[in-house]
Structure 1
Amino acid sequence: MNKKHNLLEKVYQTNDLTKEEITDLLETITSEDREILYSNALKTKQTYYGNKVYLRGLIEFSNICRQDCLYCGIRASNAKVERYRLTPGEILACCDKGYELGYRTFVLQSGEDLWYTEELLGALIHEIKRRYYPEVAVTLSIGERRAETYQSLFASGADRFLMRHETASKKLYETLHPTMRFEDRRACLNALKEIGYQVGAGFMVGLPGQTLADLAEDLCYLKELHPDMIGIGPFIPHSETPLGAEKGGTIEDTLVMVALARLLIPDSLIPATTALGTLHPQGREMALKAGANVVMPIITPTSVRKQYALYENKICGDDHPEDCRYCIERRIQSVGFEVDLGRGDSQQFISWGTDTEFL
């Protein structure tokens, strides 16, 4: 068995590789190796989660953002975006619709929009939990706030928090995020874990200036952080950003990262991202067969959905929530998986709850 097949077998059997081993694998991987990797990632997913794919209803409630990330279509400097904010009442109406459609996790996502104060968000979360307790989990994806705000929102009933670390390279992070600090991002993720959230991190694949060693470092950081959720998507250029003319990430490279994330952090929840479905008509299905086990259909009102354009040509822009719900269910079933509409907590969270029950 050659060195590369040794590495493929090692990561499958031990759920561990060094940064150097990951880099070696990425430098020499062939299409045959990829198939072995995907197959092993799928078997690992099935060991931890069976054949289930969890659905989350995604509500993109504001495209206003104070940050100016070089790759993002809703960056503060993009004057061509038609900005919007959903009121708490409109967000609750989305939740009502989502609940009717069977969703039991709502992901509230926005740009970094401080119009939504700690008090306003706390009251909104409290009302969502009051309406649907104990069935529904609330996930936030609202960017960087003070640790005290995270604590307050957790006390109001928020269960999970998604915040991609974006890249584990300090140099690349600060090049791409001129208004942000690498250390602040890490501090936010650490605070969220300490407070007790189920935490999601993750990164983009194919960023300008990103090396294979950077991608290996991303996976090592995730193994160290051990988040409950890992979001990995391709970089897709947006024409109204400084990186608009750059080449985007590929589906093949992204799927390799999804599979390696599954093997290295086997109990994590990994979405098959909308960006993958944008790059390839079967992108999400391909991710599910490479170790992903979550899909987040959009339940944002169609009147504003196209304005939440982090990247261009995003799929499902005109679809009504019920269309997305049943379309994605058919797609999931078509590749041999079953939809689970429950809360879909991570195995790490479930194990932690079991371990601490009698303390």
Structure 2
Amino acid sequence: MILADKLIRDHTLTRTEYIELLDAGGDAGVRTKLREEAVRLRKQYYGDKVFTRGLIEFTNYCKNNCYYCGIRCGNQKARRYRLSREEILDCCENGYGLGFRTFVLQGGEDSYFTDERMAEIIREIKARYPDCALTLSIGERPCESYRLFREAGADRYLLRHETADEAHYRKLHPENLSLSSRKRCLYDLKALGYQVGAGFMVGSPGQTNAALAEDLCFLEELHPAMVGVGPFIPHHDTPFAEAEAGSVEQTLFLLSVIRILLPKALIPATTALGTLDSQGREKGLLAGANVVMPNLSPLKNRKQYDLYDNKICTGEEAAECRDCLSRRVESVGYCLSAERGDAVL
């Protein structure tokens, strides 16, 4: 409890103290204390608002072979697709009519979508919907690519670092990928003026509390505007098919810790949480999260964007999903907001 009090007071701990706090994470009193403080802080900066992001999963082609991911290039069983420019714009039109004011273009690292193609799509979306924020989540690119996208109108960029521990990173990724490159991208994005999002999986194979402590220290150093944290869920066509899924309880604990560490951050209650627990997203909001990300992708492609097994909301129309989420959010005392939902400065 002493470390919980220190985190609440100082909004920071040492690496060793983070490990000790994580070791104590099973203590109900510690969890409750941190959860209550996390909720107090999210209400202090964001009130009862829960921001929505319209997620458009526009390609499941990926050049990378990350061991945990269902759309890894090595998965020959994946049914690949790409949305056309017109299909992406149709998703935005549908979302705008439903009240979304942030669109998230998410995809694998697909060489078809060159810098020029992406910039053209970004410019068109921003021209049609100037009152909306546009977030990209398309992986590692050179700094000049990020600069081009920023000049075209992109506002935010999500790039989960997945783990800040070098040894753990090597267990999750092939040799051609590096933690140093991922970190460089995040710092490049921040220097270019993006609202930057980082994050990691909870309970991924080989993860220890020492590795999680590295994640928390890195988040404190990077100070991102957004942090995406969800439980690891195995995919049946990956090397980790038989691995145990991450813990919902530990994920919720970490959401509260991160809210206290970064009080003004935008933190989603993830689809992965809702996949492992039917009330997972509601529990995420009650642990300090303040964002949800309904899917605007065409129904015919939802199941093909298959990062992990049993992903929820793959069969719902966007309007149905939004209405369902609205009721769920209201059931725990919050309300969906139609605002862009920028991070508080």
Correspondence for 2:2: 6
What are the residue-to-residue correspondences of 1:334-349 with 2, within 5 Å? 334-348=331-345
Whether 1:15 aligns to 2:11 is yes
How far off is 1:31 after superposition? 2.1
Alpha-carbon distance in 1 for matches of 2:171, 2:201: 14
Correspondence for 2:85: 88
Whether 1:251 aligns to 2:248 is yes
Correspondence for 1:70: 67
Identity level (%) = 52
Q: Which amino acid aligns with 1:36?
A: K
Whether 1:51 aligns to 2:66 is no
Alpha-carbon distance in 2 for matches of 1:301, 1:32: 44
> Could you tell me whether the CA contact under 8 Å between 2:35 and 2:253 is conserved in 1?
yes
How far off is 1:12 after superposition? 1.5
Correspondence for 2:169: 173
SS of the residue 2:163 aligns to: coil
What are the residue-to-residue correspondences of 1:311-322 with 2, within 5 Å? 311-322=308-319
How far off is 1:89 after superposition? 0.5
Alpha-carbon distance in 2 for matches of 1:174, 1:116: 27
What are the residue-to-residue correspondences of 1:9-158 with 2, within 5 Å? 9-29=5-25, 30-133=27-130, 135-158=131-154
> Could you tell me whether the CA contact under 8 Å between 2:105 and 2:135 is conserved in 1?
yes
Higher mean C-alpha deviation, range 30-39 or range 72-81: 30-39
Alpha-carbon distance in 2 for matches of 1:216, 1:51: 30
Which deviations, in whole Å up to 9, do the C-alpha atoms of 1:336-357 show, x marking residues without a partner?
0011111100013xxxxxxxxx
Whether 1:189 aligns to 2:192 is no
How far off is 1:251 after superposition? 0.0
Alpha-carbon distance in 1 for matches of 2:62, 2:303: 16
How far off is 1:175 after superposition? 2.4
> Could you tell me whether the CA contact under 8 Å between 2:38 and 2:256 is conserved in 1?
yes
How far off is 1:141 after superposition? 0.1
Alpha-carbon distance in 1 for matches of 2:6, 2:62: 43
How far off is 1:272 after superposition? 0.3
Q: Which amino acid aligns with 1:61?
A: F
Which deviations, in whole Å up to 9, do the C-alpha atoms of 1:249-302 show, x marking residues without a partner?
010011111110000011110000000000000000001000000000001100
SS of the residue 1:202 aligns to: strand
SS of the residue 2:50 aligns to: strand
What are the residue-to-residue correspondences of 1:243-322 with 2, within 5 Å? 243-322=240-319
Higher mean C-alpha deviation, range 174-183 or range 290-299: 174-183
Q: Which amino acid aligns with 1:141?
A: S
Alpha-carbon distance in 2 for matches of 1:260, 1:302: 35
> Could you tell me whether the CA contact under 8 Å between 2:24 and 2:30 is conserved in 1?
no
> Could you tell me whether the CA contact under 8 Å between 2:159 and 2:197 is conserved in 1?
yes
**Structure 2 unaligned residues grouped into runs of 5+:** none
Alpha-carbon distance in 1 for matches of 2:228, 2:202: 11
Whether 1:162 aligns to 2:164 is no
> Could you tell me whether the CA contact under 8 Å between 2:171 and 2:206 is conserved in 1?
no
Residue of 240, 251, 258 corresponding to 2:237: 240
Q: Structure 1 segments of 4 or more deviating over 3 A?
A: none
SS of the residue 1:347 aligns to: coil
* Root-mean-square deviation over aligned CA pairs: 0.8
Correspondence for 1:355: none
Correspondence for 1:353: none
Alpha-carbon distance in 2 for matches of 1:243, 1:222: 26
What are the residue-to-residue correspondences of 1:218-229 with 2, within 5 Å? 218-229=215-226
How far off is 1:7 after superposition? 1.4
How far off is 1:14 after superposition? 2.0
Alpha-carbon distance in 1 for matches of 2:95, 2:270: 19
**Structure 1 unaligned residues grouped into runs of 5+:** 349-359
Which deviations, in whole Å up to 9, do the C-alpha atoms of 1:229-264 show, x marking residues without a partner?
000011101110001111110100111111100000
Whether 1:205 aligns to 2:202 is yes
Whether 1:332 aligns to 2:335 is no
Alpha-carbon distance in 2 for matches of 1:161, 1:314: 23
Correspondence for 1:354: none
How far off is 1:32 after superposition? 2.6
How far off is 1:38 after superposition? 1.0
